[in-house]
Amino acid sequence: MIWIGLGVSLLLVLFLSPLASSSPDGLEKVAQTEGFKEKGETWQPWKAPLAGYTIPGIKKEVVSTALSGLLGSLAIFLVALGLGKMLRKSVTSNLSPRL
């Protein structure tokens, strides 16, 4: 059942990501309006692997956005799956009878 959910979510990401708005989100819009957007862009504690939903080397923006959304969703799924397995193992070991 989990694999069906993963498949559906990846298909949604793949086909709906080209419909995403290219307009700035609320926080970015306020930063532009108030004039402090540039200050925030100069300080970055780390570089995001798929910054701006782009993949270096892919020229078509629609393809780059779809693939980066797909990779991001898959990465989150794998992290959640790994955490779930670790937590399940931890809970079942705590429930085993102690002699």
Per-residue 3-state assignment (H helix, E strand, C coil) for 22-56: CCCCHHHHHHHHHCCHHHHHHCCCCCCCCHHHCCC
Tens of each residue's pLDDT in the chain, 99 residues: 888 988 999 999 888 887 877 777 787 888 888 887 777 666 677 788 888 888 889 999 888 888 998 999 999 999 999 999 998 887 777 666 665
Structure confidence at residue 28 (pLDDT): 81
Residue carrying structure tokens 């108030």: 34
Q: What is the CA radius of gyration of the chain?
A: 20
* Global pTM exceeds 0.85: no
Structure confidence at residue 94 (pLDDT): 67
- DSSP character at residue 98: -
Structure confidence at residue 29 (pLDDT): 84
Residues 74/10, Cβ–Cβ less than 8 Å: yes
Q: Where are the domains of the chain?
A: 50-99
Structure confidence at residue 8 (pLDDT): 92
Q: How close are the terminal C-alpha atoms of the chain, in Å?
A: 37
